[in-house]
Structure formats: C-alpha cells, structure tokens
Amino acid sequence: MNSAAVWRSRTGAWTRKVDDMANKPILKEVLRDRGVSRRGFMRYCATLTSLMALPAAMAPRVAQALEGAPRPSVIWLSFQECTGCTESITRSSAPTLEDLIFNAVSLDYHHTLQAASGHAAEAAREAAMKAQDGKYLLIVDGSIPLGNPGFSTIAGISNEDMLRDAAKGAAAVIAVGTCAAYGGLPMADPNPTGAVPVSHIVTDKPVVNIPGCPPIAAVMTGVLAHFLTFQKLPDLDEAGRPVVFYGDTIHDRCYRRPFYNQGLFAEGFDDEGARKGWCLFKVGCKGPVTRNACATIKWNGGVSFPIQSGHGCIGCSQPDFWDAGSLYTAVASPTADITPVAGIAAAAGIGAGVAVAALNLQAKKKAAAESTPVTVQELGGKQ
C-alpha cells in the first residue's frame, strides 16, 4: 500500500472536522499501530541524527522528542509544478519509515493526495488555517506566476493570492523543489508566465528551501523531523537551504572524486573511462557546482544516484540550472558562441592595425621631410 492509499484509508473522508486533528495520536501511537518495533524506530532515529549531523549521543533525545511530538498541521500548496516532488516524497520505497514520519504530521491539505475535491477541499484548507493559525507548517511546491493570475489557479484563486493568504498564519514556510525554491523550469528563460519562487512573495517569515528536481525524500522528511524534534527549523545557508543537507557539493562527496584528482576522466558515456567508472567532469557533470545530499543519502532507499548510474549530475538543485548552459558541457567551459565575436574583433583589430600603420608611415615621412643634415660645424667640430 503506498502512502497515498495509506493516507486515504487512515483519514477516510476529508469531511471530518479539523478541530479533531488535535486529538490525533502522537507519533509513538502511530508507530505502535503500524507495528514498528522499538528497535526499528531507534535505528531510524539514529539515521536521522546522523543525517542532521548531530552527535550520536543525541539519538535518544531525537527519539524522545519524536515519540512525544505533537502532530503539527501541514498545508501543502502545489502551484506551477509537475508533481514530481510529491511523487518523490510519497513513493519512497520500503522500508517506509520515512513515510511514517511523514504520516506523523497532520497533512490537512494536499490537492494531489487528499480524497476530497472542489469546495470541500478548499473548506478543509480554510478550516485548518483558522484552527491552527500561527502554528501550521506551509509546504509549497511549484513556482508562482505573476505574469497573469489566470496562468495557474486553484478553485478560482490565483497562486499568488493563495500563497499570501496561507503564509499569513504559517509558523514557517517550506519551499519544496527547485521550482518553489528558485523558480525552476517555469522561470527558465524566457519565463513566459513571469514565474517567481516562494521567497519572492513571502518575505516576512522564514522560508526553508529544499531544492532538487525532485528533492530527496529523506531530505524532506529530515527537515520535518528536525522541526518535530527541536520545534524550530534547521540552520540555513545564504540560499535558504538547510546546511546539514546542502553544506557540501556533490563533487565534495562523490565516490568518483579520486579519479578527478588523478586526472582520469570519461570522454563519453560508452568509452573505456566510462566503463571504468572514471570522473564524469568532461561530459558535463555539474557535481562541482551543485549542493545536495545525493552522493551521501542517495536515492531509492540509498541504492544509487545519477553519477553512480553513469550519468553526470545535472545540477537540478541549483538556482537557474536550466539556464546554466548545456547539461553535457564541462562546468568551466564557455556557454557563449565566440565565433561572431572573434570574427568582428579580428576584423576590427586588422582595421585598427592598418590605421596605426598608416599613421606610423605618415610620421616617418614627415620626419624624413623635416629632417635637415647636420653639419660638422653645427656640432662644434673643426675642419
């Protein structure tokens, strides 16, 4: 049973009263109901503790905090997006402990996952916002079009209006995915919808960016776990990302890094270097300029990540990655065509050279014309 199905079966109809949410069982009870052993739970807490770069001794505290954590209300808004972020967080494969942690929050609105639709769905969102005013977590995926409100609406409400309204009563805002964090594909040149990231609209509250196309499920749940454990958001870097997950570049943590240091590179995707697993820098890997946890946490339950599968990192968690040149060009290589510039510059140089040469020639002729022979007498000599 996938998480969406779990969600629907657990919550039943969406028509229940939001006020009842406060009476939802805490995580400890949820885990017990799901048959998760104490050992399994402690293992998960240790993993989370490690993911959050906390000392191992903190694991019991994380467990204690998670066990007694109240279930915060979460409102998830989806704007100009492809639902890949939702796919990522819900399709996390077995073991589904991360999934459980996700279920441990009270997801009160998510128009892909909820059973309700139409007015009932919007009523649930409004009720949750009212009942949990100032306390709920607002998660957003997708960018917001400012070019025309009609480009993207939900129940006739423009994305911008819905975000502004929902952000007012939020304890914190989490922008999930590169579109919400940095504008992503919709904001790529020429940005036809006038798309902007969440942080462009929400400026009076902390906005946590969890970029990635999509982000790693464990990173999303890790941020939620941090919030549950410490009742505050994790430390963020200059680009609004949790330092614990985005502190290093893919290149810093890549298992192929020694090949880069040795100067052993794949020249293509099927040459000897590729078969030997050498560094993919020359075929355009964006690992050196991409901050994410793919090389350490990996995907599909830690099975692999793009570089391990033989393809370079495309830098999907970076701002403006769609406009950062070809995915298959080395990170330091020029992105612009220099041919026209080179032609014009060389022609202009030759022209300027000819002009300077003409001036030189003129000066030479003038000097020759004006020169008069110096006699020995003029030099003070005697004949």
Partner 1 sequence: MTEPGMDLLMWARGTGFQIAIGVFLFGVALRLVEIFALGRKADVAPAKGDAVSGGFRTIFSRFVPAPGFAALLPVQVIGGTLFHFGLLFIVFFFIPHIAVIKDTFGLSWPGISSAVINALTVVTFAILVVLLVVRLRHPVRRYLSDFQDYLIWVLTVLPLVTGYMAFNAVGPYIPMLATHVLSAELLIALIPFTRLTHAFTWVSSRYYNGAFAGRKGTSS
CA 73 to each of CA 104, 120, 220, 315, 329: distance values in angstroms, whole numbers, following the listed order = 10, 18, 16, 32, 44
Per CB under 8 A, does 377 bind partner 1? Answer: no
Candidate residues 5, 120, 155, 348; the one interacting with partner 1 per rule CB under 8 A: 348
Minimum Å gap between C-beta 222 and partner 1 is 21
Alpha helices in 278-338 (DSSP H): 294-297
Minimum Å gap between C-beta 344 and partner 1 is 7
d(CA 110, CA 121) in angstroms, rounded, equals 9
Please name which of 219, 207, 212, 208 lies closest in space to residue 178, comparing C-alpha atoms.
Answer: 212
Q: Which is nearer to partner 1, 107 or 181 (CB)?
A: 181
Per CB under 8 A, does 262 bind partner 1? Answer: yes
Strand pairing partners for 158?
153
- List the x/- string, 75-114, binding to partner 1 by CB under 8 A: ----------------------------------------
SS3 236: strand
Contact 250, 313 (CB under 8 A): yes
| Sole window of 40-48, 221-229, 301-309, 312-320 interacting with partner 1 (rule: CB under 8 A) | 312-320
For residue 3, which phi and psi values (nearest 5 degrees)? -65, -30
Per CB under 8 A, does 281 bind partner 1? Answer: yes
Candidate residues 342, 362, 363, 366; the one interacting with partner 1 per rule CB under 8 A: 342
Per CB under 8 A, does 161 bind partner 1? Answer: no
Pairing of strands 144-145, 195-196: antiparallel
Site size toward partner 1, by CB under 8 A: 51
Per CB under 8 A, does 363 bind partner 1? Answer: no
For residue 191, which phi and psi values (nearest 5 degrees)? 50, 65
Contact 63, 36 (CB under 8 A): no
Tokens for 137, please give them.
């977590």
Please name which of 186, 198, 187, 241 lies closest in space to residue 216, comparing C-alpha atoms.
Answer: 241
d(CA 187, CA 2) in angstroms, rounded, equals 32
Minimum Å gap between C-beta 152 and partner 1 is 21
Candidate residues 92, 132, 143, 209; the one interacting with partner 1 per rule CB under 8 A: 209
Per CB under 8 A, does 286 bind partner 1? Answer: no
Per CB under 8 A, does 261 bind partner 1? Answer: yes
Per CB under 8 A, does 206 bind partner 1? Answer: no
| Binding-site ranges for partner 1 (CB under 8 A) | 182, 197, 199, 209, 238-240, 249, 251-252, 260-263, 265, 281-282, 288-289, 291, 318-320, 323-325, 329-336, 338, 341-342, 344-350, 352-354, 356-357, 360-361
